[in-house]
Amino acid sequence: MTYLLLSMEEAYFAGYNDREFDTYGTETTPINQIFGGYIRTEVTCLECGTVSTTFQQCQDFSLDIKHVSTLDDALEDYFSPERLDEGGDYSCRRCNKKVVATKKFSLEKDPQVLCIQLKRYVVLLLDIIHFCIIHSLKDRLEGIKE
Ligand SMILES: [Zn+2]
């Protein structure tokens, strides 16, 4: 599905020959208007409480299903806070050093069509299954979204 979306975007941009697009232009293509959404990432410093918020455009979710048995559990796991331990890569701007923090994703803007990539690993074999779920999943995400 990812390759299909990339090919559709390439075909769209090919219609504009060598014209350059800024971030807004690339994020508002007809393909992104259908499949694009925005993820909010909040990283909270556990020493001073400073929250760093960023937004990222996305066209699919890559869900780990190694330890879950339902799609709901995989989505809940994806949107659960993750602890970034001391000695990791996160540096707090206020503390001006590497700190322990939590990182949490939430859905800022839902895509009209949500594509989910399920990742399951068996020994050294990577098996990726794509599902494209149209709007019916939106109600489930509403419960997870803050
Ligand atoms: Zn801090």
Which mean pLDDT values do the consecutive 10-residue runs of the chain (146 residues) have?
81 79 79 90 96 92 85 90 85 92 94 85 46 52 59
Residue 100: predicted pLDDT: 94
Which tokens sit at 19? 């014209």
Domain parsing of the chain, residue ranges = 2-144
pLDDT for res 134: 47
CA of residue 90 to ligand 1 center, whole Å:
10
Answer for the pair 132, 118: CB distance below 8 angstroms, yes or no.
Answer: no
The Cα–Cα gap between 94 and 51 comes to 10
User: Around ion ligand 1, which residues have CB less than 5 A away?
Assistant: 45, 47-48, 50, 92, 94-95
Q: What pLDDT does residue 3 have?
A: 79
Spell out the alpha helix ranges (H) of the chain.
2-14, 23-27, 30-35, 71-78, 138-144
Distance (angstroms) between ligand 1 centre and the Cα of 82 equals 17
CATH topology classification for 2-144: Cathepsin B; Chain A (3.90.70)
**CA–centroid distance, residue 61 to ligand 1 (Å):** 29
- Tell if the pTM clears 0.85, that is, is over it: no
3-state class (DSSP) for residue 125:
strand
Q: How far is the CA of 41 from the centre of ligand 1 (A)?
A: 16
Query: Which of 113, 146, 108 lies closest to 132, judged by CA?
Result: 113
- Dist CA 13 CA 26 (whole Å): 9
